[in-house]
């Protein structure tokens, strides 16, 4: 079992699984009610797309990988030097993540490990509600900003406009393929979420953790 990351889910379900599509529309209605209750605009998830959206990156990985990226973001936020975590996140690492998330304002840190949504609506802080899977709702735009911010801390070079070059993209793909230490887990998750956020915003479709 591991985390899967999907964009364009409703469009895929409408084409391939009508029963699940009906269920998913119900989840979207809950999301919009939560957004509106928190003073944020609702959005319309596309039921059709011109093409199938696939990440140019890993779309599934062990749940634990997510914590490696969160650790890096927490270390940057707390002003700590980044060192390799090794094969296990330590108690000290967990404490650093907890300290960095104590303001409950990070879209990367404040989200379920296993389920839930990021919506292509720009709001400052995650929304907490038991009415949505994972009890936390993130913004794709907010997530993307945090990924761009942590990229140089991980040695991921972006262009002035926050884009990946082909060379850097290949470096990230190679890290996934070869499991190259010391930061391949961080690279895998960063690349996956970066691609998901980019597609989510461009096509106005939710990122789904499942």
Number of structural domains in the chain: 1
Does the N-terminal peptide bond of residue 182 adopt cis geometry, omega within 30 degrees of 0? yes
Question: Is residue 169 over pLDDT 90?
Answer: yes
pLDDT of residue 44: 95
Cα gap 14→24, rounded to integer Å? 10
Cβ neighbours of residue 58 under 8 Å, at least 6 residues apart? 176, 188, 191, 192
Nearest-5° Cα angle at 30, 35 to 1: 105
Q: Are 43 and 119 in contact (CB under 8 A)?
A: yes
Mean pLDDT score of the chain: 95
Render pLDDT for 64-80 as a digit per residue (tens, 0 to 9): 999 999 999 999 999 99
Cα gap 188→85, rounded to integer Å? 15
Domain that holds residue 110: 3-209
Cα gap 103→210, rounded to integer Å? 26
Cα gap 100→154, rounded to integer Å? 17
pLDDT of residue 86: 87
Question: Is residue 1 over pLDDT 80?
Answer: no
pLDDT of residue 176: 86
pTM over 0.85: yes
In the structure, what pLDDT confidence band is assigned to residue 52 with cuts at 50, 70 and 90? Answer: confident
Render pLDDT for 77-126 as a digit per residue (tens, 0 to 9): 999 999 999 888 999 999 999 999 999 999 999 999 999 999 999 999 99
Tokens of 160: 């002035």
Cα gap 16→27, rounded to integer Å? 18
Tokens of 42: 């609702």
């Amino acid at each position: 079992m591991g985390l899967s990351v999907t964009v364009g889910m409703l469009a895929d379900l409408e084409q391939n699984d009508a029963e699940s599509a009906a269920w998913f529309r119900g989840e979207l209605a809950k999301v919009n009610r939560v957004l509106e209750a928190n003073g944020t605009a609702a959005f319309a998830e596309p039921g059709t797309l011109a093409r199938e959206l696939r990440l140019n990156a890993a779309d599934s990985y062990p749940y634990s990988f997510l914590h490696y990226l969160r650790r890096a973001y927490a270390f940057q936020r707390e002003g700590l030097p980044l060192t390799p975590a090794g094969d296990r996140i330590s108690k000290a690492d967990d404490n650093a993540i907890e300290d960095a998330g104590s303001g409950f304002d990070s879209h990367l840190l404040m989200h379920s490990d296993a389920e839930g949504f990021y919506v292509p609506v720009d709001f400052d802080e995650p929304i907490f509600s038991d009415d949505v899977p994972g009890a936390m709702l993130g913004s794709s735009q907010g997530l993307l900003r945090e990924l761009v911010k942590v990229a140089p801390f991980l040695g991921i070079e972006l262009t002035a406009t926050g884009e990946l070059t082909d060379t850097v993209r290949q470096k990230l793909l190679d890290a996934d393929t070869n499991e190259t230490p010391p930061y391949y887990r961080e690279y895998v998750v960063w690349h996956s979420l970066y691609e998901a956020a980019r597609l989510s915003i461009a096509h106005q479709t939710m990122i789904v953790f499942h």
